[in-house]
Amino acid sequence: MNEVVSTLPVDAPWVVMKFGGTSVASAERWGNIRELVAARRDEGSRVLLVVSALAGVTDALKTLCAEDAAEVRVAAAKAIATRHHELAAVMGIALPDTVQSRLADLSALAKNGPDAADPLAWKALVQGHGELLSSALGAAFLTAQGLATQWVDSRDCLRAVSLPNQNARTRTLSATVDAQPDAALAERLAGQGDVFIAQGFIARDEDGRCVLLGRGGSDTSASCFGAVLKAARVEIWTDVAGMFSANPRQVPSARLLRQLDYEEAQEIATTGAKVLHPRCLSPLRAPRVPLWIKDTNRPDMEGTEIGPLVREAAPSVKAISTRAGITLVSMESVGMWQQVGFLAEVFDAFRRHGISVDLIGSAETNVTVSLDPTENLLDSDAVAALAADLAKVCRVKVIAPCAAVTLVGRGMRSMLHQLSSVLAEFGQLRVHMISQSSNNLNLTFVVDEDVVDDLLPRLHELLVRAGSLRSDDSQLFGPSWQALYGSGEQDIAPAWWRGERARLLQLAAERSPRYVYHLPTVQARIDGLKNLRAVDHVHYAIKANPHARILQAVAASGFGLECVSPGELAAAKAAAPEAPRLFTPNFARRDDYAAALDDGATVTLDALHPLEHWGELFAGRSIMLRVDLGRGLGHHEKVRTGGSGSKFGLPLDQLDRFLELARTHDVRVQGLHAHLGSGILDAGHWGEVYAQLATLAERIGSVEILNIGGGLGVPSHPGEQPLDLDALDRVLGEVKAAYPQYRLWMEPGRYLVAECGALLTRVTQDKRKGGHHYLGVDAGMHNLIRPALYEAWHEIVNLSRLDDEATALYQVVGPICETGDVLGNDRRLPVSEEGDVMLIAQAGAYGAVMASNYNLRETADEIVIE
Amino acid sequence: MSALSDPREAASFRFVRCGYADGVAELAYAFDDGPELIERIRFPDAPALPEARRGAFDAALRLLHFVAGISYYKAGVPPRIVVDGAAPDADTAELLDTLYLHGLAEFAYRNGLDLRERIAFPRDGAAPSPAVPLDLPRRTLVPIGGGKDSLVAIEAIKAVGGEATAVWVGNSPLIAHCAERTGLPMLNIGRELSSVLFDYNRMGAWNGHIPVTAVNSAILAVAAILYGFDGIAFANERSASAATLEYEGQEVNHQWSKGFDFECRLHDWLHRHVAADLDYFSLLRPFAELAVTRAFARLGGDYFDAFSSCNRNFRILGPKPADRWCGQCPKCHFVFLALAPFLPKPRLMGIFGRNLLDDESQRAGFDALMEYQDHKPFECVGEGAEARAAMYALSQRPEWREDALVARFADEILPQLDATELALEPWLDAADAHRIPSRLAGALDEIRGA
């Protein structure tokens, strides 16, 4: 035993730090552990380290246990010994006696094999050796490095209890520890030193046997120690900074969760997040010990903190999670509740077939339960047999494959009113079951599995936009996963108007409201798109902003102009007569098509009607065909242009008929076009549209061009990442490599011009009413209708007081006699006064062009600056 | 270079020449005196051709030239077929006339054409002396398509210890992925169509279905002689021989070149003209689709997340079921229906990622499979009676019978059917008619599950 070296006062706070298998498997990582532990000790905390076995050793020990031949087991034990010898050598220490003797014990256990009387105890003891070895080695290394570390046997501190529903196997290999604060133990250890190391995964039961804690065992050990020592906190050190607001593989923009209470964290861990095993939180609850998740590679970064304290904060959805592969069993019976024992009989059938139930929903005549995808379900006839049994007592339907999508957040019921856009999203899907837990922590929707991959990123975005996931609250939400572990935050250049403030104030002083367009910003977006190597030709959708100067700039860069009406064709021709024109109308008159053909524009059709009734008009011509791929995307229902709910595009089941008509009238289909919606920030989306169009085109010999439309998103909310053009080019390039025979067209609109425009307006009045503080400006929905029409979010700043602290919370409203004339809800702004110049950003697209004279108010004029 | 003119206006289609050098076969065609359409077939790591196989190789290559010409011929279907150089003999011309007529029957039906007066190969070439055995190595080329059929065939050959190579024509990541899973040696033959054909297509040339299995068969016959294989084992089922519909007195079968008639004709022709010991056959010929899906359900575990029979050409692979199964086409419908009686429902859902039988919008698709108010689709799918038997089996199973299309079958279609003709079991038996060589006879028992 080492000399007693206790330098901290006996009542110094305890910190429990847990490190996993990868962290303890190399000398270099042990060096990091030493630094982190020393830092905590130097801050005045007594540290208890909990470690896992060296990565791979627990699996090796499991394999050893399964071997029948003694010599094979002994060889396996020897291989494990070698790993520890090698690590000690790299650590630069002699293999300590404590490790030597553990290795000797392991070798003997391997040689003797299981004890016939209690084979499970043998198994637990063998598998527990991984931690006994790693902790002994660690104690020697840290001590040798000058950080005196006492080795503690977890089995002397953690006592397993037997629970009524446990069998011998779970009692031994998946034991539960009753972790109660033990002041005597804490005091005894405090007398022995400052730093201690103990084993994860193992404990001792009431009969004195070594038992294992099962999956997630080392995390559970750490929290049990936290409870026993009544620690200041437990730190779980791992390779990720904590829990995220969604699975980062599905939603790269998922945000790090900074603060969670125990119940929320448990809910998130149970419904999908893998970073923490849900069972490790329960020991901490009663003694109110916080748990921190920390990233070993970024020790200074604040990770997720889980604790009892719910800081004063607006209710927020914290996370969305999904579980796939779910099967629902719906049982229908008339008057089931009147029959005593009906449910008992039903659930007994599940028990008999070894099927466990997760969610339950019930109605007067129906009970529906969900089943997780176990091997039993997938590879045996359990479901068929269960259904056959149930069919004797009720009508049964097996619904699969489903996925459960869960929103987690404390006080879910009080947030329902904010979830309308989210619920609208679900309204487009088949929702089989909704479950809201009585603890008010979650809301679960069970939907068809195939929709989830598309749904999740969209839901996450909708929750942010609806203000139900308060990503703007930096106390609750940290950086995005993308920023921390992905390609990193892209550098976002400050908006152009910050550098043009004086000029803009001058312009606003002359007249208000007025639109200002910054041409260099348009040029920057043009240049970005020109760098897309996969794209052969771009048409600018001029409906976004048909200002002549913008059309000239776009045309000068070699882009064509996409028009949807005779008026737009005329504007395009007037501003840039030489630029190719693409005519993509919807429900246009026959004359419109005739005029476009005369004009020499490339014409896109998106219905049977023109060929059925005006076939001769198109005879001998080449046309583009717009199809509806059957689903839509976008930031608002009204900007979604694909899917059966939208009026655009030829449905695929009419494609054969269209081609027949084309052949009859000698019309050549030279290209296919699809456009699913607007405001899409995920590059993968266009790859899918492109690939789907290509597979369709392969059936039509005449197709040379695939036009995947526009819809390139422009980030508006703080923290939103711009569309990654490099990623887009990569995705498109992959599809192009597979289908090199087609030329690729795109037709962006808003992407090119949104950011170039600002709407300048001046404050008119200020009014408090009810809970709201209204700030009136002289621009309204007649100038900029996007907030009213699409619930679009535009950044609003007080240009006169750009550097003042934003202390007021305003509803920014216009002068129009409509309740909906609100330009910005709940905006944090400096206290503003009559005459101040406000700037509404990203107003270059669908701004002036959608203006009206409603209320017989004047429209804003448009100024172009270089 | 001659200017391009519409092939539909041409007077003749010409087989210009074919050649082989350094692993590349070059096949040239033309409409009248128009530009040459040159197709190239690339045989990777081609060995030097043994002198003893020279004659067989030339005969197989010539056949490939004639067969592969069908892709180009159909662009114009001119009134006359011309062979530059030596004309085929009567036996070969007979095979080609039959292939072109039946293989293009669907094409003709869909385009409203009658080819009976047009397809007549010259037939005055000298008959060659009968082919002899070449002592080809006793190993089998198994074309793999990424679907269940070839995987069942491959596993059956593996089970009886047969030596085999998985072969496919053209670039397909899905097939390559499945082929890797088989653990067999792999051979990926390249096929490059003439780009002039695409130019013609853009001009509005005739387009449509061609008997691609016949083209692949001819390519594999060349490969068998080149690399040394004595067997070419396709995985075409019994149902491939059933006609899709009849049109103006002619049977139209989408899968004609997968049918037994073509198999016998090519098998015999290869014996007579190429090598007496080269066996061309289908290992699944005795079986109905349902017997094959049952076999696949039993052995397919390793392939469940890799295979696809969907006829959408997935060039870009992904991990999701929707990256392999479109869920809309007749192939998806049929394979889903035919596997359903033999797999646990949650497992089947894991493969397809959705339940096609609980989706009202798929009604017409399943109706066509059952030949209810529609004809069988122009696809490689099982017989209508087979689809009805599978649906009937599901309608008797509690875990399926409430699904929208199963319930509708029970309510609406079943009462119109003769229940005695709906049993599943007869479809699981093997028939006798097949050309499988005796050394692989044991593979049949593997598939049958005996």
**For an interface test with B, which of A250, A330, A394, A398 has the most B Cβ atoms less than 10 Å from its Cβ?**
A398
Please give the backbone phi and psi of residue A487, each rounded to the nearest 5 degrees, phi first. -75, 0
- Residues B438, A33: Cα–Cα separation, whole Å: 68
Residue B426, classed as helix, strand or coil, is: helix
pLDDT above 50: residue A5: yes
Question: Within this chain, do residues A744 and A765 fall inside the same structural domain, yes or no?
Answer: no
Q: What is the pLDDT of residue A374?
A: 81
Q: Could you confirm whether A280 is annotated as catalytic?
A: no
Q: How many CB pairs under 8 A join A and B?
A: 98
- Subunit contact B344:A383, Cβ cutoff 8 A: yes
- Residues A785, A850: Cα–Cα separation, whole Å: 7
Strands (E), A437-520: 442-448, 477-480, 514-518
Q: What is the pLDDT of residue A632?
A: 45
- Residues B290, B238: Cα–Cα separation, whole Å: 10
A305 domain-assigned: no
Q: What is the pLDDT of residue B249?
A: 79
Our count of domains for chain A comes to: 4
Q: What is the pLDDT of residue A372?
A: 87
Contacts A450 to B, Cβ<8 Å: 320-322, 327, 353-354
Residue predicted with more confidence, B239 or A582: A582
- Per residue in A335-359, pLDDT (tens digit) is 666 677 888 888 999 989 888 898 8
Quick one: tokens of A602? 């490339």
Q: What is the pLDDT of residue B217?
A: 98
B175 domain-assigned: yes
- Residues B179, B171: Cα–Cα separation, whole Å: 12
- Per residue in A170-181, pLDDT (tens digit) is 889 989 999 999
Quick one: tokens of B315? 């060039």
Please give the backbone phi and psi of residue B19, each rounded to the nearest 5 degrees, phi first. -155, 170
Residue A43, exposed/middle/buried by CB under 10 A (0-12, 13-18, 19+)?
exposed
- Per residue in A384-411, pLDDT (tens digit) is 999 999 998 889 999 999 999 999 988 8
Residue predicted with more confidence, A231 or A438: A231
Question: Within this chain, do residues A726 and A809 fall inside the same structural domain, yes or no?
Answer: no
Question: Within this chain, do residues B39 and B174 fall inside the same structural domain, yes or no?
Answer: yes
List the single residue in A449, A701, A734 with the smallest CB-CB distance to B201: A701
- Residues B333, B366: Cα–Cα separation, whole Å: 6
Question: Within this chain, do residues A777 and A631 fall inside the same structural domain, yes or no?
Answer: no
- Subunit contact A701:B202, Cβ cutoff 8 A: yes
B299 domain-assigned: no
Q: What is the pLDDT of residue A289?
A: 95
Question: Within this chain, do residues A729 and A791 fall inside the same structural domain, yes or no?
Answer: no
pLDDT above 80: residue B342: yes
B426 contact partners, CB below 8 Å, separation of at least 6: none
Q: Is B316 near chain A, with CB under 8 Å? A: yes
Q: What is the pLDDT of residue A634?
A: 43
User: How far is CA A114 from each of CA A109, A428, A781, rounded to the nearest angstrom?
Assistant: 8, 58, 80
Strands (E), A390-503: 395-408, 431-436, 442-448, 477-480
B21 contact partners, CB below 8 Å, separation of at least 6: none
A253, A460 Cβ separation under 8 angstroms: yes
Q: What is the pLDDT of residue A312?
A: 57
Residue B286, classed as helix, strand or coil, is: coil
B203, A666 Cβ separation under 8 angstroms: no
Q: What is the pLDDT of residue A594?
A: 96
Contacts B355 to A, Cβ<8 Å: 399-401
pLDDT above 60: residue A488: no
Contacts A698 to B, Cβ<8 Å: 313
Mean pLDDT in chain A?
89
A646 domain-assigned: yes
Question: Within this chain, do residues A181 and A90 fall inside the same structural domain, yes or no?
Answer: yes
Q: What is the pLDDT of residue B130?
A: 94
- Per residue in A179-201, pLDDT (tens digit) is 999 999 999 999 999 999 999 99
DSSP H stretches of helix in A375-419:
375-379, 382-390
Q: Which amino acid is at A188?
A: R
Assign residue A599 the CATH number of its domain: 3.20.20.10
B201, B207 Cβ separation under 8 angstroms: yes
Quick one: tokens of A588? 């246009």
- Residues A231, A223: Cα–Cα separation, whole Å: 9
| Torsion angle, alpha carbons of B212, B213, B216, B217, to 10 | -140
Question: Within this chain, do residues A765 and A672 fall inside the same structural domain, yes or no?
Answer: no
B321, A300 Cβ separation under 8 angstroms: no
Assign residue A458 the CATH number of its domain: 3.30.2130.10
Single out the catalytic residue among A224, A394, A756, A817: A817
A372, A323 Cβ separation under 8 angstroms: yes
pLDDT above 50: residue A756: yes
A520 domain-assigned: no
Q: What is the pLDDT of residue A825?
A: 81
- Residues A46, A100: Cα–Cα separation, whole Å: 28
Q: Which of A122, A36, A51, A125 is nearest to A87 (CA)?
A: A51
Q: What is the pLDDT of residue A639?
A: 47
CA A6 to chain centre: 46
Q: What is the pLDDT of residue A337?
A: 62
- Residues A177, A206: Cα–Cα separation, whole Å: 11
DSSP class of B48? P
A535 domain-assigned: no
Q: What is the pLDDT of residue A641?
A: 53
- Subunit contact B344:A379, Cβ cutoff 8 A: yes
- Subunit contact B355:A401, Cβ cutoff 8 A: yes
Q: What is the chain A residue with the closest CA to B365?
A: A653
Question: Within this chain, do residues A689 and A578 fall inside the same structural domain, yes or no?
Answer: yes
B109 domain-assigned: yes
A540 domain-assigned: no
Question: Within this chain, do residues B266 and B370 fall inside the same structural domain, yes or no?
Answer: no
How many CB atoms sit inside 10 A of residue A654's CB?
Answer: 14
Q: What is the pLDDT of residue A633?
A: 44
Question: Within this chain, do residues A686 and A785 fall inside the same structural domain, yes or no?
Answer: no
Q: What is the chain B residue with the closest CA to A372?
A: B346
Pick from A238, A254, A279: which residue ends a domain? A238
Residue A302, exposed/middle/buried by CB under 10 A (0-12, 13-18, 19+)?
middle
The DSSP secondary structure of A419-475, one letter per residue, reads GHHHHHHHHTS-EEEEEE-TTS-EEEEEEEGGGHHHHHHHHHHHHHHTTSS-TT-TT
A484 domain-assigned: no
- Subunit contact A695:B313, Cβ cutoff 8 A: yes
Alpha-carbon radius of gyration of chain A:
33
Question: Within this chain, do residues B338 and B191 fall inside the same structural domain, yes or no?
Answer: no
B301 domain-assigned: no
Q: Is B112 near chain A, with CB under 8 Å? A: no
- Residues A59, A560: Cα–Cα separation, whole Å: 62
Q: What is the pLDDT of residue A631?
A: 57
Pick from A238, A259, A278: which residue ends a domain? A238
How many CB atoms sit inside 10 A of residue A727's CB?
Answer: 14
- Residues A775, A831: Cα–Cα separation, whole Å: 10
Our count of domains for chain B comes to: 2
- Subunit contact B398:A698, Cβ cutoff 8 A: no
For the residues A507-524, what does the mean pLDDT come to? 97
- Per residue in B294-303, pLDDT (tens digit) is 999 998 788 9
Contacts B322 to A, Cβ<8 Å: 450
Site of tokens 């969604």: A246
Assign residue A834 the CATH number of its domain: 2.40.37.10
Q: What is the pLDDT of residue A643?
A: 56
Question: Within this chain, do residues A99 and A80 fall inside the same structural domain, yes or no?
Answer: yes
- Per residue in A236-275, pLDDT (tens digit) is 999 888 999 998 888 878 889 998 999 889 888 877 667 8
How many CB atoms sit inside 10 A of residue B91's CB?
Answer: 16
Range with the lowest mean pLDDT among A78-87, A473-482, A664-673? A473-482
- Per residue in B9-26, pLDDT (tens digit) is 999 999 999 999 999 999
For the residues A784-803, what does the mean pLDDT come to? 90
A672, A701 Cβ separation under 8 angstroms: no
Residue span of the structural domain in which A675 resides: 546-748
Kindly indicate the confidence band of residue A703, based on its pLDDT and cuts at 50, 70 and 90: very high
pLDDT above 50: residue A760: yes
Kindly indicate the confidence band of residue A775, based on its pLDDT and cuts at 50, 70 and 90: very high
Pick from A238, A257, A284: which residue ends a domain? A238
B129 domain-assigned: no
Residue span of the structural domain in which B408 resides: 307-428
Residue predicted with more confidence, B202 or A606: A606
Kindly indicate the confidence band of residue B450, based on its pLDDT and cuts at 50, 70 and 90: low
Pick from B266, B282, B298: which residue ends a domain? B282
Q: What is the pLDDT of residue A1?
A: 43
Question: Within this chain, do residues A620 and A738 fall inside the same structural domain, yes or no?
Answer: yes
Q: Which of A650, A562, A630 is nearest to A602 (CA)?
A: A562
A401, A326 Cβ separation under 8 angstroms: yes
Kindly indicate the confidence band of residue A807, based on its pLDDT and cuts at 50, 70 and 90: confident
B252 domain-assigned: yes
Question: Within this chain, do residues A67 and A186 fall inside the same structural domain, yes or no?
Answer: yes
DSSP class of B379? S
Kindly indicate the confidence band of residue A311, based on its pLDDT and cuts at 50, 70 and 90: low
Mean pLDDT in chain B?
92
Question: Within this chain, do residues B274 and B322 fall inside the same structural domain, yes or no?
Answer: no
- Among residues of chain A, what percentage have pLDDT more than 90? 62
Question: Within this chain, do residues A458 and A567 fall inside the same structural domain, yes or no?
Answer: no
- Residues B251, B259: Cα–Cα separation, whole Å: 13
Contacts B397 to A, Cβ<8 Å: 384, 387-388
Q: What is the pLDDT of residue A700?
A: 87
Q: What is the chain A residue with the closest CA to B204?
A: A702
Q: Is B396 near chain A, with CB under 8 Å? A: no
User: How far is CA B175 from each of CA A698, B188, B332, rounded to the nearest angstrom?
Assistant: 19, 10, 17
B97, B117 Cβ separation under 8 angstroms: no
Kindly indicate the confidence band of residue A636, based on its pLDDT and cuts at 50, 70 and 90: very low
List the single residue in B201, B354, B358 with the smallest CB-CB distance to A450: B354
- Residues A724, A350: Cα–Cα separation, whole Å: 49
Nearest chain B Cα distance for residue A8, angstroms: 55
Q: What is the chain B residue with the closest CA to A382?
A: B344
- Among residues of chain B, what percentage have pLDDT more than 90? 75
Q: What is the pLDDT of residue A477?
A: 86
- Subunit contact A701:B350, Cβ cutoff 8 A: no
A759, A779 Cβ separation under 8 angstroms: yes
